[in-house]
């Protein structure tokens, strides 16, 4: 066991209490599955922490006819169960139910997954990108809403003065899918992730995770598929367009080199479109 | 920081760093060495315990998050003087245990799983074991033992409201 350390630890019971601790410089502790490995990465644990798990408002999933609100402290397992069977959220459910392993999924939270800055292989960001989620932050100036794309791009600066509190989703999807490629069947970080969704106007949204350091929408492919409307429902054709419009710079990592991550995207798009066609909304 | 929690049904107090992994307190302060610290990254499952009835990796659980929780380790499932937990008994009967390093974690993961999923088939059992690595690779015999036990429990009519663990 490590030598005794004087560390400040606040288990906040309200968002206000959590923000007060943040103002004093406390780092946010979610489920702990990423932060607890900091020492193995050569990073010291923070000297002051504030935990969010005792804040009731951040620990629930609210499902309304036209929208869903997910608390930042909701675990992957709870998210998967809450949205299971909800039309349009098949991809998000698959992301929540297949990330890491069952023990981690019971602990790791939605907020933690979005805020782990160095975790390129996180499953939820691409799934939430195709949902066009809105991230709710509590800042020192009050609550703030920001689109998930902008949040992911700017989160390093945003999180210096804010806590992620909730994720808001519209229920405007008819189908979605989440395709991940680990080197083994389970338990590994995925080499590449492709999330796809089809909205009520039959427009296809596509996002990619784990290939670049931060997940992002694949707008070049979305535009190509919009111009060739049949491709959204033809796996081979979609894969052909994916090959043609691959504008990713693969990151080198322990699991795979960058060129490989980039190379597997077209086959994953093919699998993704095939999975979309099997969902209730498109079948 | 002082953390108060229940450990195998008894009150337990810890004074120290709130970011100390639960597994270290179990093994080094409480001498409950059935919980194994192996990968310390949440990949291997050897350190799995129940926290408020959920099977979680204790290597990634900072003790500060355990305040007020009920923790059960492999030692808490059955003491040496009691009958084994039915899953343990079935593993013994099926001779499923090899080196034993992964087994406390396997039992903790699977005992919670069968409690919540009494009608699970082999595919679900395998999916539940994804986070428990056996380097002796004795997986099939473990799956057999769990499936057999669920079959027996179903035949005995014990699964109307789930299996008690």
Residues B62 and B13 occupy one common structural domain: yes
- Residue A128's DSSP bridge partners are none
Residue-number span of the structural domain to which B70 is assigned = 2-76
Contact A209, A123 (CB under 8 A): yes
- Tell if the CB–CB gap between B17 and A5 is shorter than 8 Å: yes
- Whether the per-residue pLDDT at B157 is higher than 90: the answer is no
With 50 as the cut, is the pLDDT of residue B112 above it? yes
CATH number of A8-170: 3.30.465.10
Residue B81 lies in a domain: no
> Please, what is the end-to-end C-alpha distance for chain A in angstroms?
55
User: How distant is the alpha carbon of residue B55 from its chain centre?
Assistant: 6
Give residue B159's pLDDT.
59
What average pLDDT does the structure give for chain B?
92
Are residue B111 and residue B57 in the same domain, yes or no? Answer: no
Residues B100 and B66 reside in one and the same domain: no
Q: Say if residues B63 and B14 touch (Cβ distance below 8 Å).
A: yes
Residue B162 confidence (pLDDT): 57
* Residue B165 belongs to some domain of the structure: no
- pLDDT category of residue B3 using cuts at 50, 70 and 90: very high
B110 and B70 together in one domain: no
Q: What is the pLDDT of residue A179?
A: 98
Q: Which residues of chain A lie closer than 8 angstroms to B67, CB-CB?
A: 11
Residues B60 and B8 in one domain: yes
User: B70-72 and B2-7: which strand pairing?
Assistant: parallel
- A5 inside 8 A of chain B by CB: yes
Q: Is A37 in contact with B65 (Cβ distance < 8 A)? A: no
Interchain contact, A7 vs B55, CB within 8 Å: no
d(CA B27, nearest CA chain A) in Å: 10
Question: How far apart (Å, rounded) are the C-alpha atoms in residues A113 and A98?
Answer: 14
Please indicate, yes or no, if residue B123 is contained in any of the structural domains: yes
pLDDT band at B81 (very low <50, low <70, confident <90, very high): confident
Query: Any CB–CB contact under 8 A between A7 and chain B?
Result: yes
For A238, residues 6+ apart whose C-beta sits below 8 A from its C-beta are: A225, A231, A232, A269, A270, A272, A273
The answer to whether residue B120 is domain-embedded is yes
Chain B interface includes A11 (CB < 8 A): yes
Inform me whether the pLDDT recorded for B45 exceeds 60: yes
Residue B31's CB is within 10 A of a number of other CB atoms, namely 8
Residue B109 placed within a domain = yes
For residue B160, what pLDDT is reported? 47
- Which site among A53, A102, A119, A190 would you substitute to test the B interface, given the most B Cβ atoms closer than 10 Å to its Cβ? A102
CATH number of the domain residue B146 falls in: 1.10.150.120
Residue B123 CA to residue B128 CA, distance in Å, equals 9
How is residue A100 written in tokens?
Answer: 């890491």
Whether residue B59 lies inside any domain: the answer is yes
Q: CB-CB: which of B17, B25, B109 is closest to A4?
A: B17
Contacts of A9 in chain B (CB under 8 A): 1, 18-19, 64
Q: How far does chain B reach from its first CA to its final CA, in angstroms?
A: 33
- Cα–chain-centroid distance for residue A267? 21
Q: Is there a domain that residue B160 lies in?
A: no
How many of the other CB atoms lie within 10 Å of CB of A178? 28
Write down the pTM of the prediction: 0.95
% of residues, chain B, pLDDT over 90 = 76
Can you give the pLDDT at residue A236?
96
Q: How many CB atoms lie within 10 A of CB B33?
A: 14
| pLDDT at residue number B83 | 87
The answer to whether A2 contacts chain B (CB < 8 Å) is: yes
Of B76, B102, B134, the last residue of a domain is: B76
Domain boundary among B76, B100, B128: B76
ipTM: 0.93
Mean pLDDT of B38-54: 96
| CATH code of the domain made up of A173-278 | 3.30.390.50
Cα separation, B113 vs A172, whole angstroms: 34
B103 Cβ partners below 8 Å, 6+ apart?
Answer: B91, B97
Give the count of domains, chain B.
Answer: 2
Say whether both B66 and B91 belong to one domain. no
- For the cut 60, the answer to whether the pLDDT of residue B165 exceeds it is no
Domain boundary pick from B76, B102, B124: B76
Q: Does A202 touch chain B (CB under 8 A)?
A: no
Asked if B19 and B48 sit in the same domain, the reply is yes
The pLDDT of residue A3 is 59
Q: For every one of its 283 residues, what pLDDT tens digit does chain A have, with 9 covering 90 and above? A: 655 678 999 999 999 999 999 999 999 999 999 999 999 999 999 999 999 999 999 999 999 999 999 999 999 999 999 999 999 999 999 999 999 999 999 999 999 999 999 999 999 999 999 999 999 999 999 999 999 999 999 999 999 999 999 999 999 999 999 999 998 876 789 999 999 999 999 999 999 999 999 999 999 999 999 998 777 789 999 999 999 999 999 999 988 999 999 999 999 999 999 999 998 777 7
Q: How do beta strands B70-72 and B48-51 pair?
A: antiparallel
Q: Is B60 in the same domain as B107? A: no
Contact A148, A122 (CB under 8 A): no
Q: Where along chain A do the CATH 3.30.390.50 domains lie? A: 173-278
Sheet with A162-170: strands ordered across: A61-63, A67-71, A162-170, A134-139, A142-147
Asked whether B69 and B4 are in contact (CB, 8 A), the reply is no
Domain limits, CATH 3.30.465.10, in chain A: 8-170
């Amino acid at each position: 066991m490590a030598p005794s350390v004087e560390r400040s630890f606040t288990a906040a019971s309200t968002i206000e209490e959590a923000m007060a601790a943040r103002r004093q410089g406390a780092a946010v502790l979610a489920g702990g599955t990423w932060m607890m490995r900091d020492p193995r990465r050569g990073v010291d644990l923070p000297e002051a922490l504030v935990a969010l798990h005792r804040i009731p408002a951040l620990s629930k999933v609210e499902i309304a006819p036209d929208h869903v609100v997910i608390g930042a402290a909701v675990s992957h397992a709870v998210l998967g169960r809450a949205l299971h069977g909800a039309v349009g959220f098949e991809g998000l459910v698959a992301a929540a139910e297949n990330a890491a392993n069952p023990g981690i999924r019971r602990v790791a939270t939605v907020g933690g997954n979005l805020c782990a800055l160095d975790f390129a292989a996180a499953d939820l960001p691409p799934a939430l990108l195709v949902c066009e989620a809105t991230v709710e932050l509590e800042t020192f100036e009050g609550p703030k809403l920001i689109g998930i794309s902008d949040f992911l791009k700017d989160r390093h600066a945003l999180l210096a003065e804010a806590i992620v509190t909730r994720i808001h989703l519209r229920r405007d999807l008819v189908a979605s899918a989440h395709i991940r490629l680990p080197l083994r069947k389970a338990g590994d970080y995925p080499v590449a992730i492709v999330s796809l969704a089809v909205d009520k106007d039959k427009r296809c949204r596509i996002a990619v995770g784990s290939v670049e350091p931060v997940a992002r929408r694949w707008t070049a492919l979305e535009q190509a598929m919009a111009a060739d409307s049949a491709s959204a429902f033809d796996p081979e054709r979609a894969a052909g367009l994916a090959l043609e419009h691959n504008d990713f710079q693969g990151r080198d990592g322990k699991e795979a080199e960058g060129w490989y991550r980039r190379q597997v995207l077209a086959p994953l798009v093919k699998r993704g479109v095939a999975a979309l066609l099997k969902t209730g909304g498109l079948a | 920081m002082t953390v108060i929690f229940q450990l195998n049904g008894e009150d337990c107090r810890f004074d120290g760093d709130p970011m100390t992994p639960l597994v270290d307190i179990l093994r080094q302060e409480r001498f409950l060495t059935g919980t194994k610290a192996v990968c310390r990254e949440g990949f291997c499952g050897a350190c799995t315990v129940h926290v408020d009835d959920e099977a979680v990796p204790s290597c990634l659980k900072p003790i500060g998050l355990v305040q007020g929780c009920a923790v059960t380790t492999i030692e808490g499932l059955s003491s040496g003087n009691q009958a084994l937990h039915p899953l343990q008994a079935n593993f013994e009967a099926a001779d499923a245990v090899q080196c034993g390093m992964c087994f406390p974690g396997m039992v903790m993961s699977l005992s919670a799983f069968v409690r919540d999923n009494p009608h699970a088939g082999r595919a679900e059992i395998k999916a539940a074991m994804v986070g428990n690595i056996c380097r002796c690779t004795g997986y099939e015999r473990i799956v057999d033992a769990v499936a057999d036990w669920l079959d027996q429990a179903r035949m005995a009519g014990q699964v109307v409201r789930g299996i008690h663990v």
